[in-house]
Amino acid sequence: MRIVVTGAMGFIGRNFVQALNDKGYTDLILVDKLGTDERWKYLLDLRFEDFINHEEFRAKLKSNKAPGVDAIVHLGACSSTTETDADYLMDNNYHFSRELCEFSLASGARFVYASSAATYGDGSLGYSDVDTMTPKYRPLNMYGYSKHVFDLWALKNRLFDRIAGLKYFNVYGPWEDHKGDMRSLVNKAYHQINDTGKIKLFKSYHSDYQDGEQMRDFVYVRDAVNVTMHFMEYAKFSGLYNVGSGQARTWNDLAKAIFLAMGKVPDIEYIDMPDSLMDKYQYYTKADHQKLYGAAYTKDFTSIEDGVKDYVDSYLSNPPV
């Protein structure tokens, strides 16, 4: 089986390629940009057939020179929730997704792509992934909208009987170091604690939530990978699905889990939220995953206590690169 993975050197992408190798898939075409930093080292332990630059692969699509494949798992996107270049986000996150999807459909390849929980906006309409709700959501930032507009395009063109879209919630875990400010709290806090002994969390500006009690559906990356693998391998299940644990936990809970995993006493400092985030901040997310388990997915999601401990023990305390 020949598989294209876009965003292969990204966070979820790198973990997914490793999982493919672990299951014996090696006829892989990895698509991404390596740039001039040290991310090429992410490739060291991976087995694959070819690595193609993002722009080169896109040019091959447009000139009908893309290689024949059995599946495309599209994880490549600009995932920065603070990115303000709307033209870039529309081109990179929407138009490129359309090009890949249209190629997959024309060639009979399986198409699985990354959407995002950022499409849900402030959560006032809930977090249901049923198709009748999708047009009603209003993302809070341009990143979320660039993902949402592809979901809407696929829905309008009745493609969810042939493709699978995955709305990842707050994913954390190994191989996210390159994400800068978009790294998870676990990654940032591990280094904060080592340097200062404390964790910094945003204050709450919502009367329903105390400082640090804002809530998220946190997902260990291995669970996100397991769901992605499920939909790649079982093409009879298509549609738009939440990838979340179905539990909302507080930032304080997550912070305490990090201290516990590091064997240290919790020390949390609450800091001002930047003005640029004030009206774009999600105070609560919780995946409705009834639809996911209705698609024959059977695995449980990892608790934040177990996920954080594994992340700290297996990666952060002894990084492989």
List residues with catalytic annotation.
143, 179
Q: In the structure encoding, which two tokens stand for residue 320, read together?
A: 């492989």
Structure tokens at 98: 């359309």
User: Which residue pairs, CB below 8 angstroms and at least 24 apart, start in 120-123?
Assistant: 120/144, 120/167, 120/282, 120/285, 121/282, 122/282, 122/283, 123/282, 123/283, 123/284, 123/285
Left (φ > 0), alpha (ψ -120 to 50) or beta: where does 86 sit? alpha
Nearest-angstrom CA–CA distance, 297 and 306: 21
